[in-house]
Structure 1
């Protein structure tokens, strides 16, 4: 959910472990939150595997940070990225940290950044470990359709079998519900964002309301003031029946 004001964003890209073709998707999403003041990409720019990234650096005003392959693996790249994030935390006025990677090694960095009161947005592919995905304030998959494309919703049966997702939705409703079990959809979304890395687009839905409407476990309505409300149908069945 985008913030209420234009946030200052620092973008850090693990170029060794992120698809260059999706940088427009990353920047388009971040534009919903604010201005990307810092844009850095890390890797060995002498490597032919980063040629596609190199072609995009000037176009998207991304600063390349060179890290030679001094040892087998890419620990040097990871370390340089971590150092720069920590430097930004202590020396810059930044509201949001964005990490583009599918590498689980950055999970402790996310945890530390959250502890400093920052909002952390992650981007990666479906292969990204759940520990990294779940640690972020919000995580979007780069191998899903672009925002301008029509998402492909998951079948309702598949969603209902996702016990973790359903429990999260129910707990969020219960935490902010008002009369007769109804909860404002906006409050439900805020509660989820505060407690988990979740975005309905990762399930094929543009909006949270579309996700709820696709599952027959919940009831959705709109008030006269165009405010969306949702409630758990289990709550409806538990309510005392009104005398006719």
Structure 2
């Protein structure tokens, strides 16, 4: 018999979004998996995790090491003919089968391939949320077909930062740290990361145009949450981490030359609401 305390706890928990995670092994790298799953955990619950590819091929060997660790179901797909990608077709067929079960709130499509543009649009037509994950080279069509598109370079960067932090702790506990430090430097030099230039890359014109559209009162103020949602609708691949910030609030507080910030009390929450306007 279940404990009343446990039942009460479960019933009080907020409902999480049930997500189907489908990974194209031909167009994604195993080095992103930890950061990828952490990002998806912020979006909802990965109820289904599947990866598609020819795992007899040397190019997919990197994935074999992580599939069991992260409980990802591999779907083997042999190439029927040279130059034709049978993996895409299998992934799309599975996605449609899962879609019609009506068991999911959204899909996470992990690929840099524009062939999944039609799939993303079809899922959206059913009223489900589509999260895309791919490299910066991903065609605009696929990125814009998703509700939100996240660059995998950002996820890889967060994984490297975490590795660096863990290594620093070990270095503090050990006096023999020369070889470990060299290994870290070698890892950093061989990992492709997004340049973190908070000044030159900051999309000021795009930000100001969006801010003018979301103004909610006569004095020019708008809620930060509303502003952030509008940014994503305009540009699904917009991500403050591309500009060196963890959160949107960090970005607006940093750019005092662009924004005025006002923290207001919320009678329904102990946390304060953040409002911004053009300076």
The CA deviation at 1:204 is 2.5
Matched length: 226
Structure 2 counterpart of 1:186, from 211, 225, 228: 225
3-state SS in 2 of match to 1:58: coil
2:32 alignment counterpart: 22
Instruction: Let me know the Cα RMSD of the aligned residues.
Output: 2.3
3-state SS in 2 of match to 1:50: helix
Deviates more, 1:216-225 or 1:90-99: 216-225
2:251 alignment counterpart: 211
Is there any run of 5+ residues in structure 2 with no aligned partner, and where? 1-13, 163-193, 267-271
Is there any run of 5+ residues in structure 1 with no aligned partner, and where? 234-244
1:128 aligns with 2:128: no
Deviates more, 1:178-187 or 1:145-154: 145-154
1:146 aligns with 2:139: no
> Does the C-alpha gap of structure 1 residues 154 and 213 become closer, same or farther in structure 2, counting only changes over 3 Å?
farther
Deviates more, 1:203-212 or 1:50-59: 203-212
Contact map agreement 2:32 2:159 (CA 8 A) in 1? no
1:34 aligns with 2:44: yes
Structure 1 counterpart of 2:121, from 100, 111, 133: 111
1:55 alignment counterpart: 65
Structure 1 counterpart of 2:209, from 163, 167, 170: 170
Q: Distance in 1 between matches of 2:195 and 2:97?
A: 40
TM-score normalised according to structure 1 size: 0.83
Deviates more, 1:136-145 or 1:78-87: 136-145
> Does the C-alpha gap of structure 1 residues 10 and 173 become closer, same or farther in structure 2, counting only changes over 3 Å?
farther
> Does the C-alpha gap of structure 1 residues 136 and 203 become closer, same or farther in structure 2, counting only changes over 3 Å?
farther
Q: Distance in 1 between matches of 2:105 and 2:235?
A: 18
Contact map agreement 1:173 1:188 (CA 8 A) in 2? no
Structure 1 counterpart of 2:95, from 61, 73, 85: 85
> Does the C-alpha gap of structure 1 residues 170 and 88 become closer, same or farther in structure 2, counting only changes over 3 Å?
same
Encode CA deviations 1:188-211: one digit per residue, 9 max, x unaligned: 122333443133223332111222
2:8 alignment counterpart: none
Structure 2 counterpart of 1:221, from 255, 262, 266: 262
> Does the C-alpha gap of structure 1 residues 117 and 67 become closer, same or farther in structure 2, counting only changes over 3 Å?
same
The CA deviation at 1:176 is 4.6
3-state SS in 1 of match to 2:149: strand
> Does the C-alpha gap of structure 1 residues 73 and 155 become closer, same or farther in structure 2, counting only changes over 3 Å?
same
3-state SS in 1 of match to 2:55: coil
Question: Which 4+ runs in 1 deviate beyond 6 A?
Answer: none
TM-score normalised according to structure 2 size: 0.74
Larger Rg: 2
The CA deviation at 1:53 is 0.4
